[in-house]
Chain A
Amino acid sequence: MIPRPFEYHAPQTLPDALGLLRQFGDEAKLLAGGHSLLPMMKLRFAQPGHLIDLGGIAELKGIRQDGNSLLIGAMTTENEIIWSQLLQTKCPLLVEGARQISDPQVRYKGTIGGDIAHGDPGNDHPALMLALAASFALRGAGGERVVPADGFFIGTYETAMKPDEIMTQVRIPVPAQGAGYCYAKLKRKTGDFAAAAAAVVLHLKGGRVQEVRIALTNVGPTPLRATEAEALLRGNRPDDAIILQAARLAMSVCAPSADQRGDAEYKTAMAGEMTIRALTTARQRAA
């Protein structure tokens, strides 16, 4: 299993990487952690003529807080996210999600930017990004634009990114103190992609739902926001009965495709179950 021949470029700065991307156009692919792209190249599902490795570009790394935003460089790895004191304190949902991605070796290499840019509905960060109301900084020939996660995921392997753009940063508004959260993921075995998963952020005020965001992994061509379920919960006490109703509404947006992880009906039911678990845990954690 060896990829088709290609030329390898290792730019050290972002302008150089953008220049190479412009120069080689359709022939080029960006290489981040390589743990989605190289497997696809080995199977020859992807056959780029030029590979542009982002690994040498220092400014794409690192995690910091700027005012009310958490700024995460696109080339930050899953293990760096898991070990970040800042994220453990300010955004434990992202840490809980990253801990459930694949296995340790993959997490040393796989990056948050690659996980999002790949557009694979099986990846876990996209739903986490929807739940966290994140946005992405994209740098292209014409400068930088910032696009919200809502609307970014268009189809399987299809995002709002243009081919000449590089994702540089993930921006997450710091969740309010006391927000409940949970990423509930069902997988057949350690290291597997989700059969179904649900990401929840929940704000309570006086025992009622002030704000809630629910997003689902791997039960459609893109990650899905369960907006009707959210609307049902807002303003109400999140008791078991309404959580069950919300899970039903979440199931109604699912359109999974069948594979070895199960048929469509099973995956939809599991998305409902993951929604119940995520909401119940988030309720417990919410102050």
Chain B
Amino acid sequence: MAKKQAVSFKLNGKDVDVVVEPRELLIHTLREKLQHTGPHIGCETSHCGACTVDLNAMSVKSCTVLTVQCEGACVLTIEGFAQSGELHALQESFHLDHALQCGYCTPGMITRAYRLLKENPNPTEEEIRYWMAGNLCRCTGYQNIVKAVQSAARKLSSAAAA
């Protein structure tokens, strides 16, 4: 067995240190070692996006990243969204616009939408559909997810303007 390696990174703003085998996938470190079970495992074959986390300002599928690749990285998961008990605009919009049913895809959806809105604060419906295509939802039919991202975009840009 290969030697274990120490890896340090920031998880939702806090420093974490883990010791992992090089073959350990980030999703397993997050869920099993760090008790961050927001990122879900849907397919484990890089297709569904349920495991999406934000890694150094990129949306990535954490089932297709090795934890050892995250030395010094900044990782954001759904657990990092609400601040002092207040929901993030995206969480609030997903709730109000009914953008989830079973909720399995939701942490990945919101984490992906977060990075999309950082890069493009006012996306069209077409842009949302194109840039969120890596996240599958088996329940909603996507209509309300698109709406929720649009309402969050409005909320975030009016908050930024204020």
Contact = CB atoms under 8 A, between A and B. Distances in A.
Interface string B9-35: 000000000000111110010000000
A106 B46 contact: yes
B2 to A, nearest CB: 4
Interface stretch (A32-40, A232-240, A272-280): A32-40
Q: State which size class the interface on B falls in.
A: 20 to 34
Contact of B45 (A2, A39, A41, A104): A39
A5 interface: yes
Given A109-B58, A109-B60, A190-B133, A5 B66 contact: no
A53 interface: yes
Contacts of A31: 69
A176 B5 CA distance: 51
B49 interface: yes
Interface residues of A, number: 29
Contacts of A8: 2, 5, 22, 66, 68
A106 B59 CA distance: 9
A191 B133 contact: yes
A53 B45 contact: no
Given A5-B21, A34-B66, 5 more contacts: A38-B65, A38-B66, A39-B64, A41-B23, A106-B46
Interface of B: 1-3, 5, 21-25, 28, 44-47, 49, 52, 58-61, 63-66, 68-69, 71, 112, 116, 131-134
